Amino acid sequence: MDDDPMYSGFIRQRVAGILEEEGKLLLVKLLSPVSNQEIWIPPGGGVEFGEPFHQALNREFSEETSIQISVCELLHINELISGKFHVIEHFFKVKKESGTPKLGIDPEHPKDQQLLSDIGFFSREQLQKLNCKPEYLKTTYWDKTATTSFDSQR
């Protein structure tokens, strides 16, 4: 996937929603285009040109989870630079407005080449055992006194 023009060779802006219910975070499992490994991440995706972050996040969250949300505050910014990949991810706290979690699709990919493979809610303890990205979700997120944070990884 290193030469996949859909994800590499430019700076990609990505938005993701952190939905917490009863002390658990909603995550989706996908095949990462960056590492080519399965990882668990908050639902979200790429921002289209001219699309405000909150609209992109509502669209992506609905596509991937079948849940309608409202976007709250910005919690974390994660920058990832790896080979031909340069991704800036904006993680927002979201609130569920309606719907029941159900694994959705990524319309940019054909049905037989979907990156998404599972969905679930996970506690802080369960996250420690998962290949979960970004690391922020295993650590700083749970410190409710923390302000917006930033990480950069190479």
E strands along 32-148, which residues? 38-41, 44-46, 68-82, 85-98, 116-123
Q: What is the pLDDT along the chain (154 residues), one digit of tens a residue?
A: 445 556 667 798 999 999 999 999 999 999 888 888 999 999 999 999 999 999 999 999 999 999 999 999 999 999 999 888 899 999 999 999 999 999 998 888 888 888 899 999 999 999 999 999 999 999 999 987 767 878 776 6
The CATH number of the domain covering residues in 11-145: 3.90.79.10
pTM for the predicted model, two decimal places: 0.90
Condensed to tens digits (0 to 9), the pLDDT of residues 44-77 reads 999 999 999 999 999 999 999 999 999 999 999 9
